[in-house]
Amino acid sequence: MLNIIKTKEADTLNVKLEGRLDTTTAPELEAELKADLGETKALVMDFEKLEYISSAGLRVLLSAQKVMNKQGEMKIIHVNDIINEIFEVTGFSDILNIE
Amino acid sequence: MEAKKRKPIRRRIQSIVMTICIVAVLVAGVVGLISMFSIRSISEKALIGGTVQNVGNLAQSKAELADAELNAYEATVQRLAEYIDDLYAHPDRYVRREILPPSKAAAGEYVLQRGFVSEEIKLQDVEDELGLLSNVEQAFRPVILGAKGTITTMYLGTESGVMISYDAASEVGDNEEGSEIYFNYRERPWYVATITQDGSSISPVYTDDYGRGLMISVAAPFQNAAGENHGVVCIDILISDLYNEVVRLDMEEEAYAFLVDSEGNMISPDSSGGSIYQNAELDDSVRQSILNRKTGVEQAQTGVYFAYAPVSAVPWMFCIRIPQSMILEPVSQIESSISRSILSYIGVIILVSLFVTLIVGKFSVSLTEPLIELGNDARAISGGDFDHRAEGYANDEIGDLAVTFNDMAAALKQFITDLTAVTAEKERIGAELNVATQIQADMLPRIFPPFPDRNEFDLYATMTPAKEVGGDFYDFFLVDEDHLGLVMADVSGKGVPAALFMVIAKTLIKNRAQMGGGPAEILRYVNEQLCEGNEAELFVTVWLAIVEISTGRGLAANAGHEHPVIRRADGSWELSIYRHSPAVATMEGIRFREHSFELHPGDALFVYTDGVAEATDASNELFGTDRMLAALNREPDAEPRRLLENVKEELDAFVGSAPQFDDITMLSMIYNGSEGRTT
């Protein structure tokens, strides 16, 4: 189960995730992002209530990071311990802009 | 649930119509009967009332008629008396003719006949008076002729002892031919009662001396020149004649009329001598009314109606007897006519009902027949004959239904055709994926022990693919005589793209590794290669280790992969946690961290993919690394194959019936030292 809460302010897209970002829910997030990333200059992802992220979820984050590298910047905020450990272990903390 | 009792539409329509018809027949019958009874009672009253009035009127008018008739007779006699008065008053004005005694030769003709009151009277003494009185024939003849037979005899008698009779029955005289007859008329009631009177009188009824039946006599006195009563002139009237003329009713036999005299005698030709006291049909009340000369209609206790009215000329009553049954005859006629109408009406309704039921039956058959046919058609279609068509239905709702069925059959056929095609396509793809899965599995080294002549280490690995072809792989190979390469990797995503990516990654890693260099160098190269044209944006987490077999020293690079597990000799299994590098193919230009380690004889390694740590049970709980370590530590010193089996067992027990989403891939190696296995 994953809740995706999107808010848009000018060029900034805020995405708040609640629940599990895994094999089943990753395609939802991918579709949601694909629909809105077009003109976005800044993508802010709030992981405060994200409980789990799988390799499929990491792939979606990676894709978004690659897109935003070309047209602006992307940052992930409020990363909790569980998710942070996953980022550390997978080396994604080297790639992603985590605050 | 109990099945409802089957009620065919046809049967229902028929029973409704039948019910309506039966109710109609019953209602018609009841209404008919009620109206019959009410008509009957109304008409009974009306008829009885009407008849009573009619009969009363009839009795009155008949009595008046009898009065008029009797008065006419009295007037006639009065005229005769006046005529005779004139004879005596003016004897010189009249001729004298001879009157003979009764003669049989004259029988059948109206002639004057002489007679004397006694033998004391001699012809020569009264010859002139007889001659004078012969003139009465002038007066008698028109009366007799005008009376049309009701007057049978006319006669007169005088104080001087002369009697003259005028009749057509000369033969009845009992005298010898040519001799005189003597008859003491002065003692006869008609004479006695009249000679002293001033006017005419009517005698009571009496029986004719000559056997002609009941008679009445109407008599009047006449005077001589001196104005004294000198004699009586009289006419005889047969009651039967009077009755026929006046009393007789043109009615049926049960109804008849009769006269009652002051003595209570019933005067009618048939009841000669009968008395109202002897007649059992009358009751006292009626008798009293008659004797008291009342006018009215009364029903005797016997049920017979009697109408009575007084005749004023004589002390008689005119009565009509009429039985009730006769009055009510029209009622029973009406009754039977009404019941005939009711019966025929019910008959018509029954016929109409039968006809309607027949028509409705045929109609409902025509209604349900197509439904049954359509049911057969639908069964044929549902039985799999999609080319079957429901045809030949009328253009109505059932026809619409038939068209719908046909459309459904066509749609079903199309759907099944499509489904067959899609299924075939899916089966083909599925078969190809199975082949791909097989090829992928075949790419992994699966012959154990892989290096039978090397006893410095023991190695075992397994991959349990999920349903869909995935991207897990392991690998091991000798880089050279003294270096062993170990790979555990997991491509993000699933399906054919992941499988292809895995093939490329595996090939690149092995090939580059065999060219020499540390794990970081190898992964850097592979990363650059995989990032080129990686439109699908797949990446692969890799744990790559190169172990120097002779020393047990090794270098490992962990590109985003799970933490490896290490067991030192005589110790337990523990996660080896250190900072990882990003996964391979995530970004160009990544420099991978390298991590050195040392294996001593008896030390063992265990690496795996997330299919192990992230296996979930039915309630979505993760297997997790803790359970995995516990499974490993069940028999920490076991050889690699046994270790893997333990983990797999625990994993299967944990997951239960939940489906396996990811490939489960494990590899374990135990380092025996450069000297080889000691055991």
Strands A2-9 and B540-548: unpaired
pLDDT-above-70 percentage for chain A: 100
pLDDT band at B1 (very low <50, low <70, confident <90, very high): very low
What average pLDDT score do residues B167-182 get?
A: 73
Q: How far is A92 from chain B (nearest CA, A)?
A: 5
Question: 3-class SS at B124?
Answer: helix
Q: Which residues of A touch B581 (CB under 8 A)?
A: 91, 94
pLDDT at B253: 62
Quote the DSSP letter at residue B616: B
- pLDDT tens, residue by residue, B432-462: 878 877 787 788 998 888 998 888 999 999 9
Helix H segments across B383-493? 397-443
- pLDDT tens, residue by residue, B262-273: 888 887 766 555
Helix H segments across B469-586? 495-513, 519-531
* B615 CA to centre of own chain: 71
Q: Is the peptide bond before B564 cis (omega within 30 degrees of 0)?
A: no
**Which amino acid appears at position A38 of this protein?**
G
Do B563 and A63 count as a contact with CB atoms less than 8 A apart? no
Q: Which residues of A touch B544 (CB under 8 A)?
A: none
Q: Which residues of B touch A55 (CB under 8 A)?
A: 490, 492, 541, 583, 610
pLDDT at B273: 53
Is residue B129 within 8 A of residue B89, CB to CB? The reply is no
Q: Which residues of A touch B587 (CB under 8 A)?
A: 62, 66, 95
What average pLDDT score do residues B339-367 get?
A: 83
Q: Which residues of B touch A54 (CB under 8 A)?
A: 610, 614
Residue partners of B377: CB distance under 8 A and separation at least 6: B388, B389, B390, B402, B405
DSSP state string for B48-91 = HHHHHHHHHHHHHHHHHHHHHHHHHHHHHHHHHHHHHHHHHH-G
Task: Please state, in angstroms and rounded to a whole number, the distance separating the CA atoms of residues B181 and B102.
Answer: 8
Q: How far is B678 from chain A (nearest CA, A)?
A: 36
Q: How far is A12 from chain B (nearest CA, A)?
A: 24
What average pLDDT score do residues B203-232 get?
A: 83
What average pLDDT score do residues B466-487 get?
A: 88
The CATH code of domain B90-243 reads 3.30.450.20
Nearest to B493 among A56, A91, A94 (CB): A56
Nearest to B582 among A54, A55, A94 (CB): A94
pLDDT at B567: 94
Task: Please state, in angstroms and rounded to a whole number, the distance separating the CA atoms of residues B366 and B394.
Answer: 11
pLDDT at B550: 93
The domain made up of B456-671 has a fold known as Phosphatase 2c; domain 1 (3.60.40)
pLDDT at B574 over 90: yes
Q: How far is A84 from chain B (nearest CA, A)?
A: 12
Q: Which residues of A touch B612 (CB under 8 A)?
A: none
The maximal CA–CA distance of chain A, rounded, in angstroms, is 35
Do A59 and B538 count as a contact with CB atoms less than 8 A apart? yes
pLDDT at B100 over 70: yes
- pLDDT tens, residue by residue, B626-636: 999 999 999 99
What average pLDDT score do residues B648-662 get?
A: 88
Highest mean pLDDT among B224-228, B534-538, B600-604: B600-604
Q: Which residues of A touch B (CB under 8 A)?
A: 23, 54-56, 58-59, 62-63, 66, 88-92, 94-95
Task: Please state, in angstroms and rounded to a whole number, the distance separating the CA atoms of residues B101 and B479.
Answer: 199
Tokens of B450: 């892989």
Strands B540-548 and B483-491: antiparallel
For residues B515 and B303, the model is more confident at B515
Is residue B537 within 8 A of residue A59, CB to CB? The reply is yes
What average pLDDT score do residues B535-563 get?
A: 91
Tokens of B277: 């006291």
pLDDT-above-90 percentage for chain B: 23
pLDDT at B596: 92
Do A89 and B492 count as a contact with CB atoms less than 8 A apart? no
Nearest to B581 among A62, A63, A94 (CB): A94
Is residue B14 within 8 A of residue B360, CB to CB? The reply is yes
* B441 CA to centre of own chain: 79
What is the value of pTM for the model shown?
A: 0.49
Closest CA in chain A for residue B614: A54
Task: Please state, in angstroms and rounded to a whole number, the distance separating the CA atoms of residues B194 and A29.
Answer: 155
pLDDT at B330: 74
Residue partners of B399: CB distance under 8 A and separation at least 6: B393
Nearest to A92 among B562, B582, B661 (CB): B582
- pLDDT tens, residue by residue, B391-433: 878 888 888 888 888 888 888 889 889 999 999 998 888 888 7
Main-chain phi, psi angles of B25, to 5 degrees: -60, -45
Task: Please state, in angstroms and rounded to a whole number, the distance separating the CA atoms of residues B621 and B200.
Answer: 152
- pLDDT tens, residue by residue, B269-328: 665 557 788 777 888 888 888 888 888 888 888 888 888 888 888 888 888 888 877 777
Q: Give which of B498, B513, B523 is closest to B440, Cα–Cα.
A: B498
Interface test with B, best of A62, A85, A93 (most B CBs within 10 A): A62
The maximal CA–CA distance of chain B, rounded, in angstroms, is 218
Q: Which residues of B touch A23 (CB under 8 A)?
A: 494, 661-662
The percent of chain B in helix, strand and coil, each rounded to the nearest 5, is 45, 20, 35
pLDDT at A1: 80
Task: Please state, in angstroms and rounded to a whole number, the distance separating the CA atoms of residues B53 and B55.
Answer: 5
CA dist B625 → B52, B91, B204, B562 (Å)? 128, 185, 157, 10
Contacts across the A-B interface (CB distance below 8 Å): 59
Task: Please state, in angstroms and rounded to a whole number, the distance separating the CA atoms of residues B215 and B167.
Answer: 15
Is residue B595 within 8 A of residue B555, CB to CB? The reply is yes
Is residue B266 within 8 A of residue B276, CB to CB? The reply is yes
Helix (H) or strand (E) holding B310: strand B304-311
Strands B553-559 and B540-548: antiparallel
Nearest to B579 among A56, A59, A88 (CB): A88
Residue partners of B350: CB distance under 8 A and separation at least 6: B21, B25
Do A95 and B494 count as a contact with CB atoms less than 8 A apart? no
What average pLDDT score do residues B140-151 get?
A: 81
Task: Please state, in angstroms and rounded to a whole number, the distance separating the CA atoms of residues B432 and B437.
Answer: 9
Q: Which residues of A touch B610 (CB under 8 A)?
A: 54-55
Nearest to B581 among A23, A63, A91 (CB): A91
Residue partners of B22: CB distance under 8 A and separation at least 6: B353
- pLDDT tens, residue by residue, A42-52: 999 999 999 88
Closest CA in chain A for residue B661: A23
Helix H segments across B383-396? none
Domains of chain A, start order: 2-95 (3.30.750.24)
**Which amino acid appears at position B552 of this protein?**
G
Q: Give which of B448, B674, B445 is closest to B547, Cα–Cα.
A: B674
Highest mean pLDDT among B95-109, B203-217, B585-599: B585-599
What average pLDDT score do residues B143-172 get?
A: 83
pLDDT at B69 over 50: yes
Q: Which residues of A touch B661 (CB under 8 A)?
A: 23
pLDDT band at B546 (very low <50, low <70, confident <90, very high): very high
Tokens of A36: 């809105």
Q: Where are the beta strands (DSSP E) in B453-496?
A: 457-464, 472-480, 483-491
Structural domain spans, chain B: 90-243, 456-671
Nearest to A91 among B493, B494, B559 (CB): B559
Interface test with B, best of A74, A85, A94 (most B CBs within 10 A): A94
pLDDT at B251: 65
Helix (H) or strand (E) holding B252: none
Closest CA in chain A for residue B622: A52
The percent of chain A in helix, strand and coil, each rounded to the nearest 5, is 40, 35, 20
Closest CA in chain A for residue B581: A91
β-bridge partners, B298: B306
Do B560 and A92 count as a contact with CB atoms less than 8 A apart? yes
pLDDT at B148 over 50: yes
pLDDT at B175 over 80: no
User: For tokens 């010898």, what's the residue?
Assistant: B176
pLDDT at B3: 60
Q: Give which of B154, B233, B165, B151 is closest to B195, Cα–Cα.
A: B233
Q: How far is A32 from chain B (nearest CA, A)?
A: 17
Q: Which residues of A touch B538 (CB under 8 A)?
A: 59
Q: Round the average pLDDT of chain B to a whole number and report it.
A: 85
